[in-house]
């Protein structure tokens, strides 16, 4: 049983994150709360979840926490955060385990967190937008090709940097957590498999016990929400 579930049963105090009441990813762990769950599991921090419907996400009560009407949010005492990068940084900054103690190595790990969100993920999200919103357009195939070529350019650079290493900069860090989770969004596209070292990198990250606990927690939540 996950620490999150134990907290729900025992009433232990801890941060609360908001999640989709019914996640559109079908329980695949692709919603951005997965990154927060994973970070909390890595540092051994119990947490609770509060489901939010699509309608409630756009209401004033939720927008006071997340002004853009999205998930996740993070609440702990009088602190409320939004944006997964800021939330994960807050977690790893307060708890040992995902940032090196050496100041220089720590800065490099944070650098990779920003790179994952600012350089790698936007091109991947562009592909999702094309697939979901532009499929019926007569220029769909050309647009998809252009977007996937941009993704390949990012993956080529990342693959070259990773090389034969297990992780991006020595030991597994928050930079690897964010990068691997961003790359997971390419599942089923075939793009990641074009870079065997990156595919193996993601597989190593997904094999971590903390990831498995986080994935199981969100999957169980999705299945429970889907029950009639």
**Residues 29 and 118 placed together within one structural domain of the fold:** no
219 and 19 Cβ atoms separated by less than 8 Å: no
Which residue in 224, 182, 228 sits closest to 49, CA to CA? 224
**Residues 109 and 198 placed together within one structural domain of the fold:** yes
* pLDDT score, position 14: 85
Read off the pTM.
Answer: 0.90
pLDDT surpassing 90 at residue 221: no
**Residues 129 and 192 placed together within one structural domain of the fold:** yes
**Residues 150 and 196 placed together within one structural domain of the fold:** yes
The β-bridge partners of 119 are none
For residue 57, give the CATH number of its domain: 3.40.30.10
> How many domains, in total, are found in the chain?
2
Tell me: the pLDDT tens digits for 108-152?
999 999 999 999 999 999 999 999 899 889 889 999 999 999 999
How confident is residue 2, by pLDDT bands cut at 50, 70 and 90? very low
* pLDDT score, position 6: 37
Residues in the chain: 228
**Residues 166 and 108 placed together within one structural domain of the fold:** yes
* pLDDT score, position 13: 63
For residue 141, give the CATH number of its domain: 1.20.1050.10
How confident is residue 191, by pLDDT bands cut at 50, 70 and 90? very high
**Residues 180 and 193 placed together within one structural domain of the fold:** yes
**Mean pLDDT, the chain, as a whole number?**
92
What is the span of the domain harbouring residue 77?
3-97+209-226
**Residues 52 and 134 placed together within one structural domain of the fold:** no
Question: Tokens 């091109």 label which residue?
Answer: 123
106 and 99 Cβ atoms separated by less than 8 Å: yes
Q: 165-195 burial, b for 16+ CB within 10 Å, e for fewer?
A: eebbbeebbbbbbbbbbbbbbbeeeebbeeb
**Residues 112 and 197 placed together within one structural domain of the fold:** yes
**Residues 119 and 57 placed together within one structural domain of the fold:** no
């Amino acid at each position: 049983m996950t620490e999150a579930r134990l907290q729900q049963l025992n009433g232990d105090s801890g941060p609360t994150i908001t999640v989709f009441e019914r996640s559109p990813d079908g329980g695949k762990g692709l919603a951005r709360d997965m990154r927060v769950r994973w970070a909390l599991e890595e540092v051994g921090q119990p947490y609770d979840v509060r489901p939010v419907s699509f309608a409630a996400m756009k209401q004033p009560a939720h927008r006071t926490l997340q002004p853009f009407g999205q998930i996740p949010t993070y609440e702990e005492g009088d602190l409320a955060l939004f944006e997964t990068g800021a939330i994960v940084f807050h977690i790893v900054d307060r708890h040992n385990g995902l940032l090196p103690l050496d100041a220089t190595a720590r800065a490099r790990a944070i650098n990779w967190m920003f790179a994952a969100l600012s350089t790698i993920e936007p091109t991947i999200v562009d592909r999702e937008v094309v697939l979901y919103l532009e499929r019926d357009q007569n220029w769909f195939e050309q647009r998809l090709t252009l977007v996937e070529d941009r993704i390949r350019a990012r993956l080529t650079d990342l693959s070259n940097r990773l090389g034969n290493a297990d992780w991006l900069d020595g030991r597994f860090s928050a930079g690897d957590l964010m990068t691997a989770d961003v790359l997971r969004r390419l599942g089923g596209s075939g793009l990641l498999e074009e870079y065997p070292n990156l595919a193996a990198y993601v597989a190593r990250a997904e094999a971590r016990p903390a990831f498995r606990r986080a994935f199981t927690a969100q999957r169980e939540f999705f299945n429970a929400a889907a029950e009639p």
